[in-house]
Chain A
Amino acid sequence: MYKPLILRSRGATIGLTLIVLIFLIAAFAPFICWFDPWDYSSTPLQRPSSVHPLGTNAIGQDILSELMYGARTSLTFGLSVSAISLLLSVLIGVYAGISGGIIESILMRITDVAIAIPSIVVIILVAAYLQPNLFQLILILSLLSWQYGARTFYAQTLSLKQRGYISAARNFGAGNGYLTVKHLIPDLYPIMLAGFIIRARYAIFMEAGLAIIGIFDPTTKSLGLLMHHAMEFAYMGTWLWWLLPPGILLALTILGFSLVGYYFEETIDLRHRSMSSGRF
């Protein structure tokens, strides 16, 4: 029976399963939950019961519902940031690589400077002033995390440009646009896929981190916010059903992306090593 390559790696299989499960929870949250997570009509700080399997929070909201909606937000945040910043990385990296000349120098200089700036500082600063909502925050984080990827795609484009089939296509009269669409981008798919997974992992982690520092949109339900609130009441012994579930769910999500990410990094690394033996 045919078995996709990725499923032959135990780690990647576990990772993929985790991602799919959490994705299902997130996607079907509205259909599974029997409480609106924003509904604060229940008694606050209840212990788990058959009505509230994970109890209620300090203002009487059902924690299980919060948890599932939280997974939804965290996943949305992670995947959106990843997709947008990946797009920016590819555009800038490939464009700089293929254009050469002044465009290349300017773009790569900007990238280098952006790498030097600690992006967390800018995020906090901008967030402190703007108090952004979920979508603005997605945009801000995306705009501040393209630079590392841009370097990678730039370097890859340069090395692909050296390949024989690119010169051959140029010989046949192919322009930059054609080369980019027909050769470069398809060649970069594996790296893009790995990049997407790794960024998604990072963005999901950042969501929780920002929530804990206190700059995530407080009107949403996210795993980080849930943990942030739970931590304040941890001393009351509520951590078992309040803090632990979002923590574990978050850890499993990040673990899922990590495991799949390792798989891609390893396979790409192998492919590259077989293409060129040099290390640098």
Chain B
Amino acid sequence: MFGKRLIEYVIAFMALIILNFVMPRLMPGDPIDAIYGNELVALTPELREQLRAQYLLDQSIWSQFLHYLYSIASGDLGYSYAGKAPVIDIVAGALPWTILLVGTALFGAITIALFLGIESGWRRGERLDRYLFAIFSIINGIPGFFIGMILIIIFALNLKVLPAGGAITHYAGYTGSEYAIDVARHLILPATALCVSELSWIYLLMRGGIISVINEPFIKTGMLKGLDDRTIRYRYAARNALLPVFTRIGIQISQIVAGILIIEAVFTYPGIGYLLHDALLTRDLPLIQGILLIVTISVLAINFTMDILYPRIDPRIRHV
């Protein structure tokens, strides 16, 4: 089972590598033009020759590909002439910010969504459930970046209590706890925007899951055993409603990634999403390729981890 999944991930990864490799070579003209043509760098004949040699463009397509694979494996993702640094360094500089933002937002979103989803689904039709369901149905209809924009307008532009963008105040020279507070202040708005938009659909999913197990016989068994309400709600209902929720989170990961990239762009938050936004503006293709490769690897890794986790969440999976 894992073997089959692993092969799928490997094929998916290879497909993307091949796409990365093929795209510039498919473009009309010299791949060097395709990659560097739009950049602010002047492609001097010397530089062109140097790049041709670097990509082995005079050799066969196979040796080019092998060379490409080799360079990826050794961590060489190319050089960004716009950023004047190796791609891997630029990405490595942005990644921690993304991890901080996504980690905070998704951790918050999942905990709150599961909690509210369980409580709301269990009280189906009661006032609390009706309100929560209505509110989150509407929020789920609003794109996360629009929520972000509204937050910026309210808290940054009008109330001026929180910064509108970035991750730190530049040139302020904060250290220690001041630095931490500064980081947190910058984090609040984008994290809230991301959290709220992911929260809504996970909530709806969890609520639906609870409702679908609520009439299962084992819930009655739990009640017959004289267990308290909370035990039944969490150990019986939620525990068994969780798997479909996690499966869906796995499927939605591409959309979550899209949401992250967009939120970072809106908040000019210096993670890889904003980096990508900048790279797209300047058409810094080596950087774009590098970022996308890192994103792909992360997504595949997360999905694979979840595949390994499923049977722990739900013993039924082991016997399918």
Contacts and interface: CB of A to CB of B under 8 A. Distances in A.
Q: Do chains A and B touch in the complex (CB under 8 A)?
A: yes
B16 A231 contact: no
A213 B277 contact: yes
Nearest 5 CB-CB pairings of A with B = A255-B141, A116-B12, A258-B141, A120-B258, A118-B299
Contact of A214 (B140, B157, B255, B277): B277
Contacts of A212: 145, 262, 265-266
Main SS of the interface on chain A? helix
A202 to B, nearest CB: 7
Interface stretch (A20-28, A125-133, A155-163, A187-195): A125-133
Contacts of B19: 122, 125-126
Nearest to A121: B292
Interface of B: 8-9, 11-12, 15-16, 19-20, 23-24, 26-27, 34, 137-138, 140-143, 145-146, 149-150, 152-153, 157, 164, 212-213, 216, 251, 253-255, 257-259, 261-262, 265-266, 273, 276-277, 280-281, 283, 285, 288-289, 292, 295-296, 299-300, 303, 316, 320
Contact of B164 (A118, A208, A214, A235): A235
A117 interface: yes
A117 B296 CA distance: 7
Contacts, number: 143
Nearest to A123: B258
B157 A235 contact: yes
Interface string A247-269: 10011101111110010000001
A18 to B, nearest CB: 9
A213 B261 contact: yes
A116 B140 CA distance: 24
Contacts of A114: 12
Interface in A228-242: 231, 234-235, 237, 239
B257 to A, nearest CB: 5
Given A118-B299, A209-B145, A258-B137, 9 more contacts: A116-B303, A124-B292, A212-B265, A234-B157, A235-B157, A243-B153, A251-B141, A251-B142, A259-B141
Contacts of B277: 213-214
B280 A231 contact: no
A172 interface: no
Contacts of B157: 234-235, 237, 239
A87 B16 CA distance: 25
A124 B251 contact: no
A113 to B, nearest CB: 5
B152 A234 contact: yes
Interface residues of A, number: 51
A55 to B, nearest CB: 16
A215 interface: yes
A124 B280 contact: yes
Given A212-B145, A227-B146, A250-B146, A262 B137 contact: yes
Interface centre among B24, B141, B273, B316 (most CB of A within 10 A): B141
Contacts of A235: 157, 164
A254 B142 contact: yes
A36 interface: no
A255 B139 CA distance: 8
A211 to B, nearest CB: 10
A35 interface: no
A115 B261 CA distance: 19
A9 B23 CA distance: 48
Contacts of A122: 16, 19
Contacts of B299: 118, 121
A213 B265 contact: yes
Interface centre among A114, A126, A208, A279 (most CB of B within 10 A): A279
Contacts of A213: 261-262, 265, 273, 276-277, 280
Given A118-B254, A129-B285, A214 B280 contact: yes
Contacts of A227: 145-146, 149
